[in-house]
Amino acid sequence: MNVYSGNGAVPSTFSSGATSNNFGVGLVGTSKDNLIEKNKIGGNLNGVLIASSTQGGNIIRRNLIAGNPPVQVSNEFGASVGADIQDRSTPGANTFEDNRCLTYMGSVEPAPCPSISKLDDDEDRQEREIAAFGRSRLALPQARLINAVFHPSGGLLPKAAASARPAQTAASDSATVTGKVVDAACFMLHASAASAASHKDCGAACLARGVPLAIATDDGVLYFPADGNQRLKSMLNARVRASGTVVEKHDPMELKMPVGDKNQMVVRVEGGYKQITIESLARIPAEKR
Amino acid sequence: MSQILCRRLILSVFTVFAFCARVQATEISGTISTTLTIYDDSELVGDVKCMVAGNPCIDFGASGIKLRLNGFTITENITGCTSATSSQDGIDVGDVVSLHDVAIFGPGLVQKFGGFGIGIFGSSKVRVEGVTASDNCFSGIILVGSMDSDIERNVFVRNSSGSEGAPCGGT
């Protein structure tokens, strides 16, 4: 990303109603097939200037182009002195995509400006969110999960978690599990947030994108249904009692969690986990909790 | 603008034969009074003050080399933008012969030149990264007849203050 700010001056010969040819980013001469992407362009006489002599094939996309020209300049010399995008090229010769801009001078229909939407498509923001999410959520909880809850050896389970184990935990034994249906990926990163009622809408969105559900016991042990989300999906955030066969799985498992519209975070669970083949499942009414 | 460029090219060719010294040194600082042409990887080790009348301050003389600004400043401190100062660029690439695979790395500031901050002419695969070009009479960086170049993460502020009708600006 380049930053363009305050470039250009009105020439001494400028007459009212004329247009300046100074710019933040200029495609002049026979320029063609250039990519102008992810720049911040503000306070110039024109933000992006495309001269009539250009040869086309230029792509101008995902730029923030605003405040061109500065308002005092347009007040003094007239609104025609410049624009966020001044396009003197043949309509259709160049491509404008997902720019955020306010003013356009040119012949393209519909005009690429004003456009102030597309915030959710901001890849930079999504990348920052993913990085921040990874830093703040992933490191410590992941260590807790791998070492304490999901370790295959019962002897290494913390005392509280051990007390929450069902009556029989031997491989392929029947058991009854009581807990809350949660979005498993979120639960492993931040258990209290995933269990909160306020997370229900978020969890539903994750569920719609295939995030696995699980039954979380009061002491934080997760039981993943052997048949996927089919039986639990109507019970997100509900408290349930499930009976069936519980087995300890020892293979690593990857849970995928959507972040934004286009990205996803993968949480890898190592050291094994519990899987339950549900034979009976019942929602526990609120008054009996 | 084209007239200005033509005049620039003629003057630059003259400069090569008359004034430029071949420089192997990699470290640059202090005052430059005749165009410094670099043929090897070079870097600034201090601020540079340019006093080169009618010609660029630093000129690339070979392909495949890099100039690192290392956070220092290259300043001409021009007092008035006129057509006579239009050839006084900060850094030029390819104004004599076409070059390829050269790079200018910031951080660093190229400011107050009578011409362009950085001029890239008829060259290919030129990378300019992390440089600030400010208060130059014409464009901060200009690419003329160049291709496959990468201009990334630079800042262009208050350039083209004296272009007087020539299509100039940030880049």
Query: Which residues make Cβ contacts (< 8 Å) with residue A51, sequence separation at least 6?
Result: A21, A26, A27, A28, A29, A31, A88, A89, B167
What's the domain range around B45? 2-157
Cα first-last separation, chain A: 55
Same domain membership, residue A249 and residue A150: yes
Same domain membership, residue A225 and residue A170: yes
Residue scoring higher pLDDT (B131 or A192) = B131
Cα separation, A187 vs A214, whole angstroms: 9
Does residue A149 belong to any structural domain of this protein?
yes
Residue A38 confidence (pLDDT): 87
Same domain membership, residue A148 and residue A107: no
Contact A75, A62 (CB under 8 A): no
Same domain membership, residue A203 and residue A153: yes
Same domain membership, residue A254 and residue A160: yes
Residue A126 confidence (pLDDT): 59
Q: Which of A73, A90, A120 is the last residue of a domain?
A: A120
pTM for the predicted model, two decimal places:
0.59
Chain A: give the shortest CA distance to residue B98, in Å: 18
Q: Under an 8 A CB cutoff, do B155 and A2 touch? A: yes
Residue A142 confidence (pLDDT): 33
**A51 to chain B: which residues are within 8 Å by CB?**
167
> Strands A213-216 and A173-183: what pairing?
antiparallel
**B145 to chain A: which residues are within 8 Å by CB?**
29
Same domain membership, residue A158 and residue A270: yes
At B33-85, the pLDDT tens digits run 999 999 999 999 999 999 999 999 999 999 999 999 999 999 998 888 888 88
Q: Under an 8 A CB cutoff, do B158 and A6 touch? A: yes
Residue A267 confidence (pLDDT): 67
Query: Which residues make Cβ contacts (< 8 Å) with residue A275, sequence separation at least 6?
Result: A223, A224, A225, A226, A246, A247, A248, A249
Does residue B162 belong to any structural domain of this protein?
no
Q: Which stretches in chain A have pLDDT values below 50?
A: 119, 134, 136-170, 288-289
Does residue A46 belong to any structural domain of this protein?
yes
Same domain membership, residue A263 and residue A194: yes
What is the complex's ipTM, to 2 decimals?
Answer: 0.78
Does residue A84 belong to any structural domain of this protein?
yes
What's the domain range around A86? 3-120
Does residue A200 belong to any structural domain of this protein?
yes
Query: Which residues make Cβ contacts (< 8 Å) with residue B133, sequence separation at least 6?
Result: B90, B109, B110, B111, B117, B118, B140, B141, B154, B155, B156, B157, B159, B170
Does residue B29 belong to any structural domain of this protein?
yes
Same domain membership, residue A222 and residue A99: no
Same domain membership, residue A200 and residue A254: yes
Does residue B163 belong to any structural domain of this protein?
no
Same domain membership, residue A214 and residue A97: no
Same domain membership, residue A102 and residue A146: no
The tally of domains found in chain A comes to 2
Same domain membership, residue A159 and residue A79: no
Residue A132 confidence (pLDDT): 61
Does residue B113 belong to any structural domain of this protein?
yes
**Single-letter code of the amino acid located at B47:** D
- The residue assigned the tokens 């600006």 is B169
At B76-121, the pLDDT tens digits run 988 888 888 889 999 999 988 999 999 999 999 999 999 999 999 9
Does residue A254 belong to any structural domain of this protein?
yes
Does residue B56 belong to any structural domain of this protein?
yes
Cα separation, B35 vs B16, whole angstroms: 9
Q: Under an 8 A CB cutoff, do A25 and B171 touch? A: yes
Tell me the three state secondary structure of residue A220: coil
Mutate: best of A4, A7, A20, A86, partner B, most B CBs <10 A: A7
What's the sign of the alpha-carbon dihedral A25, A53, B136, B25? positive
The tally of domains found in chain B comes to 1
B4 pLDDT above the threshold of 60: no
Residue A271 confidence (pLDDT): 65
In total, the C-beta contacts within 8 angstroms joining chain A to chain B are: 90
At B143-158, the pLDDT tens digits run 988 888 999 999 999 9
